[in-house]
Amino acid sequence: MIDVIVRTFTPEILRYLLGGALLVIELSVVIVICSLFFGMILALLRNYDRFVLGRIAGAYIEIFRNTPNLMWVLICYVYAPFPTAFLRCTFAFVLFTSAAIAEIVRGGLNSIPKGQFEAASSQGFNFVQTLVYIVLPQCFQNIMPTLVSQVITVVKDTSFLSMVAVAELMFRSRNALALLPRYTGQTVGIQQVAVIFGFAAIIYFVINFTLSCLVRWLQKRRASLANNTIKA
């Protein structure tokens, strides 16, 4: 098996697969940043606007939370008005993920006691200042573990893009099997399939396990801070 691994991972194949891993990270970073921005806006509108915008935000969240992400990837890949597959698929993920993050943020907002607004108002803060300086920092501290778990989901779900020929890790893993005869002279068999997809699984595991460790660290840190507050 070691001989198969050595002969399979030529410099060309390794660079090709690592390029796919890099694209997964790039996609995930762009999707999470954009989704966090739009998700926070949706959460604020749904929570604090009882009129038209709040209802629109609520409808948006419910539509995207209750439909499959892959469906939006396929729709946006065909119809989204962007010049590249990368942008079209990123747009699809942002549409879907921002709805999920909006509900996470809304849960965090609802965990903040309403008395915080009254206390802030008594100190001269307006509504926006109360949100920015008091409510949102506490909200994100509370939801950070859940938010990181959503990031892990985004990383794993980028594998959907292999279905629309975006050259991320899963697409390149499948395509690498077709390139093996050219670069290594090997015929593709069960061992080669196991080695290539095993390598992809290890990369996904390393990325997501790192994020999982971050979640556990944040949970322990939060519990420690809570215990110190109680003792004080």
pTM above 0.75, yes or no: yes
DSSP assignment of 25-90 equals HHHHHHHHHHHHHHHHHHHHHHHH--SHHHHHHHHHHHHHHTS-HHHHHHHHHHH---SSHHHHHH
User: For 114-134, what is each residue's pLDDT tens digit?
Assistant: 888 788 888 888 888 888 888
- Band of residue 230 on the pLDDT scale cut at 50, 70, 90: low
Structure confidence at residue 11 (pLDDT) = 81
Domain coverage including residue 137: 2-231
How many independent structural domains does the chain possess?
1
For residue 91, what is the domain's CATH number? Answer: 1.10.3720.10
Q: Output the pLDDT for position 63.
A: 93
**CB–CB of 140/108 below 8 Å?**
yes
pLDDT digits (tens, 9 = 90+) for 131-190: 888 888 888 888 888 888 899 999 988 888 888 878 788 888 888 888 777 766 667 678
DSSP string, 144-196: HHHHHHHHHHHHHHGGGGGGGT--SHHHHHHHHHHHHHHHH-PPP-HHHHHHH
Look at residue 101 in the predicted model and tell me its pLDDT: 93
Residue 30 contacts residue 84 (beta carbons within 8 Å)? no
Six-digit token pair at 174?
């499948």
